[in-house]
Structure 1
Amino acid sequence: MSKKPSAFRWAFLAACLALPGASIADTMSYADAVTVLAKDCGADIKKHCRGLNLGNGAIQNCLEQKAAKVSPTCNSTLSSVLASIQLRQTAQMSYAKVCRHAIGQRCRGMRGDGNILGCLIKATKHISDDCNQTITDAGWR
């Protein structure tokens, strides 16, 4: 259900020169990450990281290594985007554990993440705040 960080990290940076801006949320989708980075880091990538291979973390590594030369906005955005994506991925990987009680009480016998998540979302008022927050952080609501 979730993508591995290494596959994502570099794919979104590859596209970040071509997309318009968006605002940063507590967690964001991969598409929103590309959009925000394009807006806030596009010029820095063109200036400081031109010609780099887009895979294997080259762009992120370049921006981090040249942080002193990169705009404060880009540095801040890169940190925020990576933290947001990490929070989303952590929530996606941990929802079953965090929501274990609710799954056992409200969604007993259901199989498949989609069915279980649908059940939990319908039961929003009857599940713990931690479970609700995890579902929200995972980007499923």
Structure 2
Amino acid sequence: MLKRRLLLAAVACMPMIFAATASAQTLSYADAVTKLADDCGKDIQKLCKGLNLGGGRIADCLQQNADKVSPTCKASLATVFQSITQREHAQTAYRQVCQRDMSKSCSGIKGDGFVLACLVKKEPRVSKECNQVITDAGWR
């Protein structure tokens, strides 16, 4: 559990370390942490052994040792960062993207959760863009 928190903290600082490249469906936070644990655990143990948790120490360590980080870990960091960024953006943008669909298909429904449930239930009648942002946000 502690190792997973450590890896998640490292992910938060990854834009400074590695550029995101490929576009993919968003990962859940749990899947992202598992992927990083699988693909970067050995690098962290080898390059950052003995570091105290918190304060971005693992991210700093990986950045300082970027030339020694395995290609697999670098690729995973880029993929995970891109996916989490896409997920967070979708969660923020969903109300704006889905506004027309909310007015058209779910008018009169109060509460964010109920509106979202309405949009998901009425998926065939909801715009492609709204359906995509709901999926990217991890709500479907």
Provide TM-score, normalisation by structure 1: 0.80
Query: Which one scores higher on RCO, CA 8 angstroms, separation ≥ 6?
Result: 2
- CA distance, structure 1, for counterparts of residue 8 and residue 136 of structure 2: 25
- CA distance, structure 1, for counterparts of residue 94 and residue 129 of structure 2: 9
Q: What do you get for the CA RMSD once the two structures are aligned?
A: 2.0
1:11 aligns with 2:11: no
C-alpha displacement at 1:110, in angstroms?
1.6
Aligned to 2:114: 115
- After superposition, the C-alpha distances for 1:66-99 in whole angstroms (9 at most, x for unaligned) are 2210000001101110110111011011100000
Q: Provide the identity percentage.
A: 54
Aligned to 1:71: 70
- CA distance, structure 1, for counterparts of residue 51 and residue 121 of structure 2: 46
- CA distance, structure 2, for counterparts of residue 97 and residue 37 of structure 1: 32
Task: Could you tell me which runs of 5 or more consecutive residues in structure 1 were left unpaired when the two chains were aligned.
Answer: 1-9, 17-24
Aligned pair count reads 124
- After superposition, the C-alpha distances for 1:41-68 in whole angstroms (9 at most, x for unaligned) are 0000001112223323222232233221
More helix by share: 2
Asked if the contact 2:6/2:53 (under 8 Å) is kept, the reply is no
Provide TM-score, normalisation by structure 2: 0.81
- CA distance, structure 2, for counterparts of residue 77 and residue 39 of structure 1: 9
Structure 1 runs of 4+ with >6 Å offset: none
